[in-house]
Structure formats: C-alpha cells, structure tokens
Amino acid sequence: MDLHELLFSLSESSCITGEGKAADIILNRAGEYSDKAFKDALGNIIVPVSDEREGKPNILLEAHMDEIGFVVQTIDDDGFLHVGEVGGPDMRVLLGSEVTVFGKEPLFGVFCSKPPHLSSKEEYKKVPSVEDLAVDIGFGHDKAAEKVSPGDFVTLRRKPADMPDGMITGKALDNRAGAAAVLRCLDLCAGKVGCGLTAAFTLGEELGCRGAVTAAFSTAPTHAVVTDVSFGYTPDAPREKCGDMGKGPMIGVSPVISRGMSDMLVKLANEKGIPYQIEVMGGSTGTNADPVSVSRGGVATGLVSIPLRYMHTAAEAVYVSDVENTARLMAEAVKEIGGFGNVRNV
C-alpha cells in the first residue's frame, strides 16, 4: 500500500455527510479487506473484516472520516453564498480561503469580506465571523441559483503537498490521517486476525461524535481502538498540551479510556520498537473514544492519536511516518487482543 498516495487522495477529496469522493475512496479500499463493507443508516462505512468467534474478543477499529466545513444557507442578489459552519473551523484563516461548493457539480469559491481600505482600523484587526463572510463563486444571482441550493455542503479546497523531510500538508488530515492509519492497519494484519474485527469510518465527529455512537452499537465490540489526530507542537503552543511531530503516535491516557488498553499499547510499542508518545487528559478526550467506551454495556477502549499541526485549517500537517507507526501499533494491538483473552476495563 502506498500510504503517501492514500493520504494525498483522501486529503484532497471531501466528505461531510457520507456522500463525497473521500467516502468513495474509503469504501473502495475497504473492499480489499472485506466483501461485506456497507454504509449504515447514517452513512458510516462499516467494514466487517473477520467474523466474531465464540469466547473470543470482538475488536472495533474506528476513525472518523468527516471534515469541518460549511453549509449554504442563502444566495444573495449578487450571486454570493452565505453559509453556516459545520463543525468548528478556525475562523481566523477563512478570509480569502478557497472552497469547493458541492452544488449540482463541484464549484470553486473564495471566502470574501469587506476589503481593508473600506474597514476601520478596529474592524481590520477583528476576525470576521461566518456571518460577515460570503462565498464568491464568480456567478451572478441567476446562474448561482441554478447551480447551488440552500443545504449544499462546502469544504475547504487545497491540494496536498510535500514539505521537506517527510511532513505533508493539506486540508482534512483531521481525520483522513486516522482513516488512512486504519486502512494501513488492515493491510498489516490481513490474514493474521484470530477474533472478530470490524473497522468503522464514521461521520459527525466534528459535530459531537455522533456517527461513532451508532457504529459502536451495531458492531458491539468488546475492545476498541479509536484513531484521531492531536496537537503537534509549534513554538506558540503550550508544550505540555502537545506531542512532537515525527516522534510517533500519541497513546491516550485518561480516566475515560481503559487503563488496561493504554498500558498494553505502551507495552507493545516498547516491545516492537515503535516510537510513541503519551498524551494525558483529565477526562473527556474530545474524540470518538468518549462515546465508544460507554456503548451498550461498556467497551475497553484505547485511543491513538497522530500529532498534527494547524488543526481545522487547510494547512494541516502530519508526518507520514507517524501515520505508518500508528497503523503498526494498532496492528500489534489487534494481534495481541485476539490472543489476549480478557482485558479488564479499570
């Protein structure tokens, strides 16, 4: 599997509600590991890889495949689109940002706002809110209304790129990086799974971890590993809240996550020589691990996060090596749990 190529194609393509090229790519790739992959009632992609076996654990690997974006509310008299947020984009980067509007066909657009020479000095420094912005698609009202309707979704537009030394940058690496890691993990443990295994690529995480609720319910796992992204260090961020880029997956430790799972992941990383970091949180993790761990009667859940810079902008950046090491660690966990018996949820 060419992980770099997979990351690029997932980053460039889009998915907010389950329609979209990114979902198509995931469903397509999942087909290599399961002929029973399907979309559930909410649009989550569920990939049964290995059947449940009596007396053995049933594992769920989960990554959200939705991205932050916007939805068209109105088209004004000049053909500009007024939108609402879907999820929490970083408002400070929106002005002048390029977007794709998923109307009757995908259309190019630019976020615009009053130019500086028409703004007062105070206005000029203020970050525009989504009500102050509009999307310019280069059409007048009539043509715009033909091609776009209220309710159409909008995502950021950016072609991924390589930076020197193995870091890549693009939009939606939150959480295409996680989704790619899960697919790569399936690649690594193909044929070596001794218990039930399902991968789920879910929606609505950016709106409050919604899709994971139903995906976990239908899968009914005993153990789960959730993959997402977390904060990669930049000099202006509090060091203690970030992981380092390129230093491996961040293993989550929190009252919400199974301590047994966290310890097992650390043990495996050490044994197998996989670089890793620890990410400690005091309660909710802000990821799908939160709802998954209390699904049905409870699930022993672990969380592995890929360090990422510039979250919720089109300039997100990750190391391909961190994605690979995340996949390796998850594959080791699958092999270990399958032969492990009971991991008690502490």
Partner 1 sequence: MSVMFEEFKELCLLPGVSGNEKPVSDYIESKLSQIPGVEYKTDPLGSIIVHKKGKSAPETKLLVSAHMDEVGFIINSVGEEGFLKFTPVGGIDPRVVLGRRVIISGHTGIIGTKAVHLQKADERKQAPDFDDLLIDIGAKSKEDALKYVKPGDTASFDSDFVEFGGGCVKSKAIDDRIGCAILLSLLRQPLEYSIEATFVVQEEIGTRGAKAAAFTVGADAAVVLEATTASDIAGVEEGKKVCRLGQGPVISFMDRLTIYDRGLYNLAFEAAKASEIPCQPKLAVAGGNDAGAVHLSKKGVKTLALSLPCRYLHSPSCVIKYEDAENTLRLLKELCRIIGSKPC
Binding to partner 1 in span 136-155, by CB under 8 A:
136-140, 143
Phi and psi at residue 26, to the nearest 5°: -65, -45
Query: Is 53 or 143 the residue whose CB approaches partner 1 more closely?
Result: 143
Q: Is residue 275 a contact point for partner 1 (CB under 8 A)?
A: no
Residues in the chain: 346
The residue written with tokens 């091609």 in the block is 147
Query: Is 81 or 189 the residue whose CB approaches partner 1 more closely?
Result: 81
Query: Is 33 or 319 the residue whose CB approaches partner 1 more closely?
Result: 319
Q: Is residue 80 a contact point for partner 1 (CB under 8 A)?
A: yes
Instruction: Order across the sheet with 167-170: list the strands.
Output: 161-162, 167-170, 316-319
**Minimum distance from residue 67 beta carbon to partner 1 (Å):** 14
DSSP 179-204: HHHHHHHHHHHTT---SEEEEEEES-
**Minimum distance from residue 90 beta carbon to partner 1 (Å):** 4
Q: Of 1, 3, 95, 266, which lies in the binding site for partner 1, with binding defined by CB under 8 A?
A: 95
Q: Is residue 9 a contact point for partner 1 (CB under 8 A)?
A: no
Residue 264, SS3 per DSSP: helix
Closest to 33 in 3D by CA, of 327, 329, 322 = 327
**Minimum distance from residue 171 beta carbon to partner 1 (Å):** 10
Q: Of 310, 335, 336, 340, which lies in the binding site for partner 1, with binding defined by CB under 8 A?
A: 310
* Phi-psi group of 96: left, alpha or beta (phi > 0 → left; psi -120 to 50 → alpha; rest → beta): left
Query: Is 194 or 246 the residue whose CB approaches partner 1 more closely?
Result: 246
Query: Is 92 or 344 the residue whose CB approaches partner 1 more closely?
Result: 92
CA of residue 28 relative to chain centroid, distance: 18
Q: Of 29, 184, 223, 309, which lies in the binding site for partner 1, with binding defined by CB under 8 A?
A: 309
**Minimum distance from residue 163 beta carbon to partner 1 (Å):** 4
Size of site (CB under 8 A) for partner 1 = 66
Residue 88, SS3 per DSSP: coil
Binding to partner 1 in span 49-78, by CB under 8 A:
76, 78
Rounded to whole angstroms, the Cα distance separating 339 from 52 reads 14
Query: Which two three-digit tokens encode residue 321?
Result: 């090596």
Residue type, 132: D
Would you say 287 and 228 are in contact if contact means Cβ atoms under 8 Å apart?
Answer: yes
Closest to 311 in 3D by CA, of 72, 87, 21 = 87
Q: Is residue 238 a contact point for partner 1 (CB under 8 A)?
A: yes
* Sites of contact with partner 1 (CB under 8 A): 76, 78, 80, 82, 88-93, 95-98, 107-110, 112-118, 124-128, 132, 134, 136-140, 143, 158-159, 161-167, 169, 231, 234-238, 241, 245-246, 286, 309-315, 317
